[in-house]
Copies of this chain bind each other. A is one copy, B any other.
Amino acid sequence: MINNASQLNLFLSDFARLDGLKILVHGGGKKATELADAMGLKPKMTGGRRITDKANLDIVTMVYAGLLNKNIVAGLQALGCNALGLSGADANVIRAHKRIVKDIDYGFAGDVDGIGDRTISLFLNHGIIPVFSAITHDKKGQLLNTNADTIAAELAKGLSVEFDVELIYCFEKKGVLLKLDDEDSVVAHIDSAYYEVLKKEGIIAEGMLPKMENCFEALKSGVQKVLIGKPDLISDLNKTHTTLTL
């Protein structure tokens, strides 16, 4: 959701200043599309959904786990934050499986099976700040393209056994909107009951639905609170945002 260098630097300095143990998870779809364009590769789509074929898997591995992850890590290191870039394959921190083919074959898309919470704790307890790119593996040698929101939720769930975890989702809106085109219609607080109402009324739909499902699943698994808003939310919780609780 951050697509220019000055926005990214601002976000990284906000992140570096955050107190307590912390983890960053990022994707990088826009940059991956740019690289695919530069290589003359067309995105492969089926039924309106993007398919990760071999060529696209290589691209997201290069862009997410390479270019973006290492530049984010170097940026945080410059700010005194001891970042360590990770894919799920590294120290086996996120195990996944290739998405089962039902109607659509998504190719090398990964659904998360579990996280290496002991290794992640080891890093955190030694002052190392994990920075996850949205790439996982199946422990059989196959890398997999995996949704960054899902990775964040799975990490939050897995680590909530040992730590008090707050999950902050940053995206291009100020929060969950009652009216999609009205930035002033942010809902301040959504609990499970209200979430059901918003789903039934079709207010939460399409792209927001899987994101919100991830959030409530994380809350049910022990995550204390989920916040949703723009990237500047992490430095100032007074900024308009949506808070989710059970």
User: Chain A residues in contact with chain B, CB under 8 A?
Assistant: 35, 38-40, 58, 61-67, 69-71, 73-75, 77-78, 82-85, 87, 89-92, 119, 122, 126, 128, 135, 137, 139-143
Contact = CB atoms under 8 A, between A and B. Distances in A.
16 contacts: A35-B39, A38-B40, A61-B66, A62-B63, A65-B70, A70-B135, A74-B137, A77-B89, A78-B140, A83-B89, A83-B90, A84-B91, A85-B89, A91-B128, A119-B126, A119-B128
A73 B87 contact: yes
A119 B83 CA distance: 12
A83 to B, nearest CB: 7
B73 A89 contact: yes
A143 B77 contact: no
A89 B82 CA distance: 9
B77 A71 contact: no
A61 B65 contact: no
Given A73-B90, A84-B91, 11 more contacts: A61-B66, A62-B67, A64-B66, A66-B69, A70-B87, A71-B143, A77-B139, A77-B141, A83-B91, A91-B128, A122-B126
A239 B1 CA distance: 53
A-B CB proximity, top 10 nearest: A66-B66, A62-B62, A78-B141, A62-B66, A74-B89, A84-B91, A74-B137, A73-B89, A65-B66, A84-B90
Contacts of A143: 70-71, 74
A65 to B, nearest CB: 5
Contact of A82 (B62, B92, B126): B92
Contact of A141 (B64, B75, B89): B75
A31 to B, nearest CB: 10
Contacts of A64: 66
